[in-house]
Amino acid sequence: MAIDDLYFGVMCSAMDTARRTLPDPTAVMRVGCLSYPDVLVTRGQISKHYPHLATASYRLRDDAEKICKWHSMPHLTEIIETSDLFDKLGCETDFFDFAEVRGGEIIADLNMPLCVNHHGKYDVVIDTGTLEHCFNVGTAFENMCRMARIGGYIVSAAPMSKVNHGFWNFSPCAYDNYFRQNRFDSIFLGAFYKDKVGLKQIEISPNKRQLAPSEAVLMAIARRTEHSTFNLPIQQKYL
């Protein structure tokens, strides 16, 4: 799981919007992350979104070489500590994972219902690509949504067409139908893939059938508008 340049841009947009909805926009924002995502963006990419961090001094991972190899990102010369980046963005962040991989995680198996202490607690819930690695994906999806406060945001990424990347690939209707049937506003739903030229966005429909290019990724932003009983959704075409 990682915050790459594409996810970082989408995440920044959602976090900036979430901050404007806080009673006090200068207050610390509560963020919950599914897993501990490695920061795979450069200082320049960060300062492009947040110019005030152009001269920031970051804590760096001493296992950067191992992380770069794991993510096949050999061009990166350093890995910024994820918790330090969120600190500098004015966030208080909790990381949830089934094991302590990077350090400081809250140990939780997202295949199982999350402790109620973490429900409705976060202004922004970040999933950089965890759900597809949970076999009990419906429960994991519900855990993600329960973590958001009323008025809070979900920022999620999932593969559309990556064989054996995880247990599952996602269709746009999974996000669209779940959010609409559980009192979330769908803010953004898009799909992207990389070819020899670079990153391209795919025209997608929330519910109509279509083919997706290889290695395509879905990105979703949703806002929790009110309390929900968190029903399992019925696919739109059967309603």
φ, ψ at 156 (rounded to 5°): -130, 145
Q: Residue 199 has what pLDDT?
A: 83
* Residue bearing tokens 């340049």: 5
Residue 121 CB neighbour total at 10 angstroms: 16
Closest C-alpha to 133, from 187, 169, 86, 101: 169
Cα distance between residue 154 and residue 145, in whole Å: 7
pLDDT at 25 over 90: no
Going across the sheet that includes 29-34, the strands are: 106-107, 91-97, 29-34, 122-127, 148-159, 217-224, 184-194, 199-202
- When pLDDT is cut at 50, 70 and 90, the band that residue 46 belongs to is very high
Residue 190 CB neighbour total at 10 angstroms: 16
Q: What are the strands, taking DSSP E only, across the chain?
A: 2-3, 29-34, 38-39, 91-97, 106-107, 122-127, 148-159, 184-194, 199-202, 217-224
Helix, strand or coil for residue 52?
helix
Rounded to the nearest integer, the mean pLDDT of the chain is 91
For residue 105, what is the DSSP state? Answer: P
φ, ψ at 119 (rounded to 5°): -75, 140
- The answer to whether 14 and 155 have CB atoms below 8 angstroms apart is yes
Q: Residue 200 has what pLDDT?
A: 87
Domains detected in the chain: 11-21+29-38+90-228 (3.40.50.150)
φ, ψ at 230 (rounded to 5°): 55, 65
Q: What pLDDT digit, counting tens, does each position of 49-80 carry?
A: 999 999 999 999 998 999 998 888 888 889 99
Q: Residue 226 has what pLDDT?
A: 92
The more confident residue out of 102 and 130 is 130
Q: What are 56's two structure tokens?
A: 């920031």
Cα distance between residue 22 and residue 28, in whole Å: 10
Q: What pLDDT digit, counting tens, does each position of 202-237 carry?
A: 899 999 998 888 889 999 999 999 998 899 999 999
Q: What pLDDT digit, counting tens, does each position of 103-113 carry?
A: 789 999 999 99
Q: What pLDDT digit, counting tens, does each position of 174-193 carry?
A: 999 999 999 999 999 999 98
Q: Residue 104 has what pLDDT?
A: 84
- When pLDDT is cut at 50, 70 and 90, the band that residue 21 belongs to is confident
pLDDT at 132 over 90: yes
Closest C-alpha to 234, from 160, 170, 178, 158: 178
The more confident residue out of 228 and 93 is 93
